Every structure is written in C-alpha cells, then in structure tokens.
Amino acid sequence: MSTLFDKLGGQQGLEQVVDEFYKRVMADNTLSKFFANTNMDKQRQKQVDFFAKIFDGPDQYKGRSMDATHTGMNLQQQHFDVIAKYLNEALAARGVSSEDANAAVGRVESLKGTILNK
C-alpha cells in the first residue's frame, strides 16, 4: 500500500507543493510578515522534510519541534486556517486528489495545538 508521501508525488512532488504553498503564503500580507527575517531557501527545505516526515515518507527533518518553532509568533486560529487553505490549494494545483489533499491537511491540522502553542 502506498503512503501519503507517495500519493503526493514523493520527494519531487512535495518540493513542488511546498513551492506552490510558499508562493501563496508570501503573497499574503497577514502571513508574509512571519517570514520577514527567514532564509526562505532553508525554510523551504525544512518544510519539505517536515511534510515528508508527517506524510509517512523519509524522516530527515532536523528542525525544532512545532511548539518550539512557533513560540512567540502569536499565531492565531485565523492564521492557521489560511495556512491550511493555502496548503490545500497548493496540493490541488499540483494535481493531488481531493481525498489525498484532505488527508494531508488533516495531518497538519492534527498538529494545530502545538503550532498555535495552545
């Protein structure tokens, strides 16, 4: 049985999804401010590695935990909702089925408490 990682196109597919995702995030003034002092090349790779890990792909993620990463950012529910929407749009733009996209967004939503530090 193939993993969610495989269904999303493997490493190359995830890289394309992350590129689509950050195009949307960085065009949104309510979100781009959170990345004002971020090396986006490093951020992109961390995001690809993190998604690979939570989507049952290779675990090469070496970043901090989600709560440590997002501490002090004051992220709110509305930020999380827009991020989830952009991820869903990025998955759709890369041709991922709605069933697989919903599964992927569901994995991210399961981490909402640690991402929002609540």
Per-residue pLDDT tens over the stretch 36-57? 999 999 999 999 999 999 999 9
Residue bearing the bigger pLDDT, 67 or 56 = 56
Return d(Cα 27, Cα 82) in angstroms, integer.
Answer: 12
Q: How far is CA 5 from CA 29, 38, 59, 83, in A?
A: 30, 26, 11, 19
Q: Which band of pLDDT confidence, cut at 50, 70 and 90, is reported for residue 115?
A: very high
Residue 67: predicted pLDDT: 86
Residue 117: predicted pLDDT: 83
Average pLDDT, the chain: 94
What is the CATH number for 19? 1.10.490.10
Q: In the chain, how many domains are there?
A: 1
State which residues form the domain around 13: 4-115
Please check the confidence at residue 1 and state whether its pLDDT lies above 90: no
